[in-house]
Structure 1
Amino acid sequence: MPRSLDGLILAPVADQAPGQVGTHTRFAYHEKDGEVWAEYAGGDVLRGHLVGTRDGDRLDFRYVQLRTDGTTASGHCVSTVVELPDGRVRLEESWEWESRPGSGTSVVEQLTEHAP
């Protein structure tokens, strides 16, 4: 059985373009019975939410966010859940905006208790 994301805090390993998530963004994940959701904030993102499903090591979700400049954005993401050698979780993501042009890839990893 794949490790649950419920209660985990994850953060991007690198900054994206301005107005997007970055290394100061924190994702608080929840998971129950194949449903996955998270709240996120930090950096250029004032408030964000994602909701979707999990099937094995695959996440499929939609996200919406309010940025610090007052604009909003939304999109779709498919992620692969990977367990790192030290036991932490990594999500390898392919995403695309639905509210505007653009797509890309990103990586978020579970923070340790001592990480900022």
Structure 2
Amino acid sequence: MARSLDGLFFAPVSDQAPGQVGTRTRFAYHEQDGAVWAEYAGGDVVRGHLVGTREGDRLDFRYVQLRTDGTTASGHCVSTVEELADGRLRLAETWEWESAPGSGTSVVEQVTEHTR
């Protein structure tokens, strides 16, 4: 059985374009019975939420966020859960906006108490 994401915190390893998540964004994940959800904020994101499902090491979710400029955005993401050599988890993501044109890839990694 894959390790649960419940109660874990994640941060992007690099910045995306303005108005998107970046290295100052923090995700607080929850997981129960195949459902995953998270709250996130930081950087250009005032508040964001994601909700979806997990099958094995694959996450499939939708996200919506409020940006610091007052605009909102939404999209779809598929992530693969990977374990790093130090035991932390990494999510390799492929995402696409549904509220505007655009798509890409990103990586978020588990952060510990000391790096939040």
Q: TM-score range by the shorter chain?
A: over 0.9
Q: Which structure 1 residue ranges, 4+ long, deviate > 2 Å from structure 2?
A: none
Displacement of 1:17: 0.2
| 3-state DSSP of counterpart to 2:73 | strand
Aligned CA RMSD, in angstroms, stands at 0.5
How does the TM-score come out when normalised to structure 2?
A: 0.99
1:94 is the counterpart of 2:94: yes
Deviation per CA, 1:19-39, whole angstroms, max 9, x where unpaired? 000000000000000000000
2:51, 2:85 → 1: CA distance? 27
Displacement of 1:102: 0.1
1:112 is the counterpart of 2:116: no
1:84, 1:56 → 2: CA distance? 17
1:56, 1:94 → 2: CA distance? 17
Displacement of 1:113: 1.8
Gapped runs of 5+ residues in structure 1? none
Q: What code does the residue aligned with 1:16 have?
A: Q
Q: What code does the residue aligned with 1:67 have?
A: R
Count how many residue pairs are aligned between Structure 1 and Structure 2. Answer: 116
Identity among equivalent pairs (%) = 84
Gapped runs of 5+ residues in structure 2? none
2:110, 2:61 → 1: CA distance? 18
How does the TM-score come out when normalised to structure 1?
A: 0.99
